[in-house]
Each structure stands twice: as C-alpha cells, then as structure tokens.
Chain A
C-alpha cells in the first residue's frame, strides 16, 4: 500500500472522494470556460462572410425580365441595358449581409459610371419600398432599385433569400450567380473572368 504523503511530513489520510469530486468539477469547469472563451474569440475575429458562387438552372439562359417601378418611382426595364454587362443584386434593408455589402456596391457603382460600362441594378426582396429607398439614400446608392411587391421577379430568378447577385452578359444571358454579400474586388474579379469567357 502506498504510504500517505504530506508536505509537513505528517502522515495524512487520502482525500475523501467528495473532495476529489469537487476538484474534478473545478477542472471540468475550467476547461469548459477556456474552450468557450476560445470559441467566442474565434467567432468575433473571423473575417466577414463572403459571397460564394452557386449553381443555378439560369446559367447560360436568357435573364428573366425585370421591368417595373424603382424605389424612387421611376420606371425601369432591364432590356434597355442590352449590350452592357449588368449586375443584378437582390437585397433588403433588413438583411445584415446586404448592409455589409452595400459600401462595396456603392464603390463598385462609382468606379463603373462611364457610359457603356457595367450597370448595377437592385431588386427589392420582401421589403417595403420606403424602407429600401431610405436604405439606398442613407448609403449613397444611386443605381436603380426595382420594387418587387409580390416577389415574382425574385421567383423568376430562383432567389431564396437576400443578398443574391447575378451577372448578366451583354447578350442577356446569365453567366454567374452568387449567394451572400459581394465585395467590390470580388465583383471585378468575376466580371473580368466572365468577360474573358472563362467558365
């Protein structure tokens, strides 16, 4: 039998099982605390969610029509942009990823203002026109945003939830589809790729 040990040299009885259990509980609690803190740190410092290119049956197909009224009351028809590259962005003012991508879209739009350059078109997804208009105005967005009160434009594009973005070629076919918040550099990259004809 192992003799009992003590720092003072006195023989002590082994710790009762209740004390050992309390020590184990402290260890477990400590480990859980450290793991929890690590997870919180990881989630708080990870880079913001980015858009991913996702498949859609519309790829290579004629882009469905987008015609109607914009949030400012002007009329709009996508077919008038035939011959230009078009970025169609489905968004809502209540959607955090849309708020995240908005500064990038504003910068992208500003960089492509020359006549004949890529056009940006918004489609309001499940949102009031007034909320969308206020959102556009507060972020300095100047591109047309078409209201879609009954969701039929979103349905024609197979949109599941905002933000979703489509790139439409000058001949009117859909060449790319993205789910999630876009970045300006990402848009430029995918546009350049589409313009080169790289699949």
Chain B
C-alpha cells in the first residue's frame, strides 16, 4: 500500500487531492450540458414531473386518464411554441395549484428539501474527517520508567537467549508476554 509508506502529511495530502478530484469530476459531470433534447423528449421529461390531476400520485406520463392526456397535449404544444419548462410549470400551477408538480418547488419552506441533503452529507464528511484527525493527533499514552525498565529487561533476556543459541521456546501462549515473564 502506497499510503502506508507515506508520512502522515503525505497521506493527508493524498486524501485531499482525491477529494478535490472527485468533487471537481462530480461538479463537471453534473453541470455539463447533455445533447439537446427534441421537443418530444422535453415534453416527456416535463410530463414525468407533473402529477395526474385525477389520479393517485402518478405522473401524467404514466397515466391514461383523460386529464393526463389533455396535459400531455398541452405540454407538447407549449414546448413546440418555444416555452420554457418553468413557463409550462407556472401555467399548470395557475390552473391546478402547486400540488400539480411532483417535483417540490425550490422556493419557500420546500426549499429545505433541496438544501438539507447536501448540507447533511457535507456535515457528515466534515465530522468524519474531524474524528479521524483527532484520532491521529491524539498523544501517545505516557510510559513510566518502570515500564521502560521492564521492556529493557525483556529485550535483554531475549537477546541473551538468542545469543545462547538454545532455540528453546517456553511453553504457554506465544508472544512477548511469555518472554517477559519473570
């Protein structure tokens, strides 16, 4: 693992670079305009965002009700007449009220529906980064002189045993604990 071999500052720089690259890629991908839509494609995308007035929570695009058919016809005519999506939405709202739109409006109280998710994600990422930073920056536990002496004795015993070349391993659990047993 490359990150394991890097010093702390290098590892953090790597993470920051990765985050920036991902953020820029997402931003570019989201804002890049796709190929221009035909009138029918535009009308279909609008239909999918309009609630069928005489149905239970399905879009005009998915309904065969007469009211949905009338709206589909109107949307196609207005798209062909050069109206924007916002103008068509505004007309439908002027007839049926704001409930006709399946997509919540980005004004007033419902604006929170759009604002809260990215804020929550940003807060979660910031919290995670902060927790990781604190964990890394935490001071190493204090080591007393007795502990140091104990480790020194254990190391000396191990070195002596290795120098004697017995190769014997004491019975019991493996590891440093068995070496330092008095």
A126 contacts across to B, CB distance below 8 A: 66-67
Task: Name the one of A125, A158, A161 contacting B96, with C-beta atoms under 8 angstroms.
Answer: A158
A161 contacts across to B, CB distance below 8 A: 54, 67
Given the known interface contacts A126-B66, A151-B69, the answer about A158 and B74 at a Cβ–Cβ threshold of 8 Å is: no
A61 contacts across to B, CB distance below 8 A: 94
> Which residues of A in the span 41-65 have a Cβ within 8 Å of any Cβ on B?
55-58, 61
Task: Name the one of A58, A150, A160 contacting B53, with C-beta atoms under 8 angstroms.
Answer: A160
Given the known interface contacts A150-B73, A154-B67, the answer about A160 and B97 at a Cβ–Cβ threshold of 8 Å is: no
Contact B66 A58 (CB under 8 A): no
Contact B70 A154 (CB under 8 A): yes
Contact A160 B67 (CB under 8 A): yes
Question: Does B3 make an interface contact (CB < 8 A)?
Answer: no
> Which residues of B in the span 53-81 have a Cβ within 8 Å of any Cβ on A?
53-54, 66-67, 69-71, 73-74
A58 to B96 CA separation, bound complex (whole angstroms): 9
A120 to B105 CA separation, bound complex (whole angstroms): 38
B95 contacts across to A, CB distance below 8 A: 57-58, 155-158
Closest B residue, CB atoms, query A157 = B95
Q: How would you classify the secondary structure of chain A's contact residues: helix, strand, loop or mixed?
A: loop
Contact B54 A160 (CB under 8 A): yes
Q: How many residues of B contact A (CB 8 A)?
A: 14
Q: How many residues of A contact B (CB 8 A)?
A: 18
Given the known interface contacts A57-B94, A58-B95, the answer about A159 and B67 at a Cβ–Cβ threshold of 8 Å is: yes
Given the known interface contacts A158-B53, A160-B54, A160-B67, the answer about A152 and B97 at a Cβ–Cβ threshold of 8 Å is: no
Number of residue pairs A-B, CB distance < 8 angstroms: 45
B96 contacts across to A, CB distance below 8 A: 57, 158, 160
Contact B97 A151 (CB under 8 A): no
Given the known interface contacts A152-B74, A155-B74, the answer about A57 and B97 at a Cβ–Cβ threshold of 8 Å is: yes
Contact A155 B93 (CB under 8 A): no
A142 to B116 CA separation, bound complex (whole angstroms): 58
Contact B94 A151 (CB under 8 A): no
Closest A residue, CB atoms, query B69 = A151
> Which residues of A in the span 21-75 have a Cβ within 8 Å of any Cβ on B?
55-58, 61
A151 contacts across to B, CB distance below 8 A: 66-67, 69-70, 73
B74 contacts across to A, CB distance below 8 A: 152, 155
> Which residues of B in the span 68-116 have a Cβ within 8 Å of any Cβ on A?
69-71, 73-74, 93-97
B93 contacts across to A, CB distance below 8 A: 57
Chosen A-B contacts, 23 in total, with CB atoms closer than 8 Å, are A55-B97, A56-B97, A57-B93, A57-B94, A57-B95, A61-B94, A150-B69, A150-B70, A151-B67, A151-B70, A151-B73, A152-B74, A154-B70, A155-B95, A157-B95, A158-B96, A158-B97, A159-B67, A160-B53, A160-B54, A160-B67, A161-B54, A161-B67
